[in-house]
Amino acid sequence: MKAITLRKFGGPEMMQLSEVETPAPAEDQVLIKVSNSSVNRPDVIQRQGNYPPPPGDSEILGLEVAGVIESSGENTSRFKPGERVVALVGGGGYAEYALAREDHCMSIPESVSFEQAACICETYITAYLNLFMLGELQGRQSVLIHGGGGGVATAAIQLCKALSPETRIFVTASSAKLERVSAQGADHVIDYREQSFADEIKRLTEGRGVDVILDHIGAKYLESNMKSLALAGTLMLIGVMGGIKAELNLATMMVKRQRIIGSVLRSRPVAEKASIIHQFETEVMPLFAAGTIEPVIDARFALKDAADAHRLMEQGGHFGKIILSNQD
């Protein structure tokens, strides 16, 4: 099969289209003929040599795929060849065929295209897990989402609107994306380049702060995030693009009964991921089927042009998801 491989770790120019052996499913796996996959920030970090796949998973980039079942392992029973599925994978998405655990797959609703389905697993499950399962947002008053325009942020806004419509949504974004983020349903959009988001949150909430923060920046934002949190608020940390070390005022955190929860999806035990996916399929996939939620796609690239897709992601000007296609 054709797949994107790396000559060595480094920039997008290290990516190449290669012929590799088509994998065979183990007893609890399915082999998916991939129609579409998508580009996520962890792919970039892995390409740079800083985010290896979990033991036993493919070293090929790509964390989510949409396609049809090609074949199945002997201990699988849910899906039959030809059925449309979307899957969360530990690696291997940038290829014509990919392996997935059967319990990490979900059926694609008839109304959802392969392109749309390829947007679901990494970003929507990440947002759902961290805001609703861990951050316990539902029914709470307010949320701050960083990185408006990114895949996780657009997913998070949509999920908040659908699952917790009474929650006030604050989002940080660059100047060029403010209007589009607002159009997605954010109640307040803060230009992080021109404004202090901590000051704006304090002003907009009359000093109360927000209940939950979804942050992928890390150290650079820690002080401002803690100032922005309400009493008993929760900071969900899902990335460290802005550094890994920062000072924290523990006394203030204790008095305000605040929580910081670090969270990644890829390295969780397979059974835990299966449980998360099952809950997501039950609670959220019907929203895709009904058209209540529709993924935002910024750009489409052929698999062979995956390096260009990575360049676009690194430039940071995209809004929503970047899709790879195996279709002619």
Q: How many domains is the chain built from? A: 2
Q: Are residues 227 and 158 in the same domain?
A: yes
CATH of the domain at 13: 3.90.180.10
Instruction: Render 104-156 in DSSP notation, one character per residue.
Output: GEEEPPTTS-HHHHTTIIIIIHHHHIIIIIIS--TT-SEEEESSTTSHHHHHH
Query: H or E stretch including 169?
Result: strand 168-173
Q: What is the pTM of this model?
A: 0.94
Range of the domain at 220: 123-262
Same domain, residue pair 40 and 97: yes
pLDDT in tens, the chain (328 residues): 999 999 999 999 999 999 999 999 999 999 999 999 999 999 999 999 999 999 999 999 999 999 999 999 999 999 999 999 999 999 999 999 999 999 999 999 999 999 999 999 999 999 999 999 999 998 889 999 999 989 999 999 999 999 999 999 999 999 889 999 999 999 999 999 999 999 999 999 999 999 999 999 999 999 999 999 999 999 999 999 999 999 999 999 999 999 999 999 998 999 999 999 999 999 999 999 999 999 999 999 999 999 999 999 999 889 999 999 997 6
Residues 160 and 44 in one domain: no
If one counts every other C-beta atom within 10 angstroms of the C-beta of residue 286, the result is 12
CATH, residue 181: 3.40.50.720
